[in-house]
Amino acid sequence: MTSSTLVTGIPELTTNDPEQGAGQRDPGDRLLGIVRDAALVVRGGIVAWVGPAAHAPAADARVDLGGRAVLPGFVDSHTHLVFAGDRSAEFAARMAGVPYDGAGIGSTVAATRAAPDEVLRALVRRRIAELRAQGTTTVEIKSGYGLTLEDELRCLRIAREVTPHTTFLGAHVVPPEYAADREGYVELVTGPMLDAVAGTGGRRLAAYIDVFCEPGSRHAFDGEEARAVLEAGRRVGLGLRVHGNQLGSGPGVQLACELGAASVDHCTHLDDSDVEALAAARGTTVATLLPGVEFSTRSPYPDARRLLDAGADVALASDCNPGTCYTSSMPFVIALAVRELGMTPAEAVHAATAAAARSLGLDRRVAVGCPAELAVLDAPSHLHLAYRPGVPIARALELSAA
């Protein structure tokens, strides 16, 4: 029989389990389903028991975390990890006042197309190690820097070696060779590229389709183009995700809500009707905020408080990419959300775990029967994630090596 491990020395365990939260007086404890002086038993990678350490059952092995808080591993539900090249000079120019408009994506496309598979694979693996070292245990990865049929498939195949949560973003920008034929490019994305990605006659390479809907940017797609892309993806059974309302107000959020997208991401520039649409789409469409982008582009932050108060589902993710935000750190994102977006530390942790998971169709509780995808903090509570910005206190909990 598979051996079991009892984990103790946990002053605070975040379970995201409403049953553990029920009856707690503190709203943060209630939201996070916190158990104090907790223990858990893991067997075969699955949680077999959770509760107060005083009631813990016996197990084959024991790991004492020595006063470290445990929480569900972070779910980074929006990344662009498959890329080559360097755009640090673009970042430096932005800090000196140059605005972001998506033009730099072209240089990453050129570098990614030129990179051999082994080079891209090594870059992705290094980035995965980097984010695990900061507590992320589940990651979504988009294509979008290939933009030819072959290169999009190549990027998705490499992404799929490290995660099942892959998203086809052929509609990231119109590549230079189609600059005079936008319509032709949308036809390529919604026709041959999508057929190949969806596995018509082969293996499915993506679970979702995404589109950069930003009518104000000549590089991205307007509402009509975005609708065509999303409806085509839906016809072949892909889930929907949208880059919307990042650079200015626009139709992205409304379109995502209307089509029942799993997530609409950025949500930086929202008017009242966008907030109402997201509140009405609660349970279906998650508003995923990416405050590392506003940090790295010197832009105004989205207003999480307004969304939460209206009743919308709010997730947090990194958007790790070479252009608008080259960080893989969910603790940094949580710190920004607390400092700049009006979220409480508990809301930010919930958004970076349970809500982000829901946008990928996953359950991120620490409860009997759930996968033991856990993070551990060199700190007694989740408050330290925002309280100690920039300090590497979080990591994925590797039970065999703990």
Contact string 222-261 vs ligand NIG (x = CB under 6 A): ---------------------x--x---------------
Contact call for residues 165 and 138 (beta carbons, < 8 A) = yes
DSSP H helix total and E strand total for the chain? 17, 16
Residue of 17, 29, 76, 319 interacting with ligand NIG (CB under 6 A): 319
- Comparing CB distances to Fe ion, the nearer of 21 and 292 is 292
Q: What angle do CA 235, 241, 246 make, to 5 degrees?
A: 135
Question: In whole angstroms, what is the distance from residue 42 CA to residue 40 CA?
Answer: 7
Of the candidate spans 12-20, 154-162, 268-276, 317-325, the one that interacts with ligand NIG by CB under 6 A turns out to be 317-325
Whole-number minimum distance, CB 373 to ligand NIG, in Å?
A: 25
Nearest to 254 by CA among 285, 277, 270: 277
- Comparing CB distances to Fe ion, the nearer of 152 and 319 is 319
Question: In whole angstroms, what is the distance from residue 214 CA to residue 226 CA?
Answer: 9
Q: What residue 324 binds from Fe ion, ligand NIG, none (CB within 5 to 8 A, per partner kind)?
A: ligand NIG
Question: In whole angstroms, what is the distance from residue 236 CA to residue 112 CA?
Answer: 27
According to CB under 6 A, which residues from 66 to 125 bind ligand NIG? 102, 104-105, 108
Token duo for residue 370: 């759930």
Q: How many other C-beta atoms can be found within 10 angstroms of the C-beta atom of residue 228?
A: 18
Whole-number minimum distance, CB 341 to Fe ion, in Å?
A: 17
Cβ neighbours for 336, distance < 8 A, ≥ 6 positions apart: 291, 292, 294, 295, 301
* Interaction of residue 274 with Fe ion, rule CB under 5 A: no
Contact call for residues 156 and 166 (beta carbons, < 8 A) = yes
Whole-number minimum distance, CB 249 to Fe ion, in Å?
A: 18
Residue of 275, 293, 315, 338 interacting with ligand NIG (CB under 6 A): 293
Residue 170 gets the label, from left (phi > 0), alpha (psi -120 to 50) or beta, of alpha
DSSP classification of residue 213 = E
Question: In whole angstroms, what is the distance from residue 117 CA to residue 317 CA?
Answer: 26
* Interaction of residue 190 with ligand NIG, rule CB under 6 A: no
Whole-number minimum distance, CB 351 to ligand NIG, in Å?
A: 17
Of the candidate spans 60-68, 89-97, 317-325, 377-385, the one that interacts with Fe ion by CB under 5 A turns out to be 317-325
- Comparing CB distances to ligand NIG, the nearer of 85 and 389 is 85
Contact call for residues 208 and 167 (beta carbons, < 8 A) = yes
Residue of 135, 146, 250, 322 interacting with ligand NIG (CB under 6 A): 322
Of the candidate spans 253-261, 308-316, 318-326, 349-357, the one that interacts with ligand NIG by CB under 6 A turns out to be 318-326
Size of the site for ligand NIG (CB under 6 A): 13
SS3 state of residue 170: strand
* Interaction of residue 212 with ligand NIG, rule CB under 6 A: yes
* Interaction of residue 324 with ligand NIG, rule CB under 6 A: yes
Residue of 313, 319, 347, 373 interacting with Fe ion (CB under 5 A): 319
Residue of 268, 318, 321, 329 interacting with ligand NIG (CB under 6 A): 321
Q: What angle do CA 42, 355, 122 make, to 5 degrees?
A: 70
Residue 288 pairs with which residues in a beta bridge?
265, 315
* Interaction of residue 20 with ligand NIG, rule CB under 6 A: no
Q: What residue 108 binds from Fe ion, ligand NIG, none (CB within 5 to 8 A, per partner kind)?
A: ligand NIG
Contact call for residues 373 and 40 (beta carbons, < 8 A) = no
Give exposure, 359-378, as e/b (b: 16+ Cβ within 10 Å). Answer: bbebebbbbeebbbbbbbbb
Positions that interact with Fe ion (CB under 5 A):
319
Residues that bind ligand NIG (CB under 6 A): 102, 104-105, 108, 212, 243, 246, 293, 319, 321-324
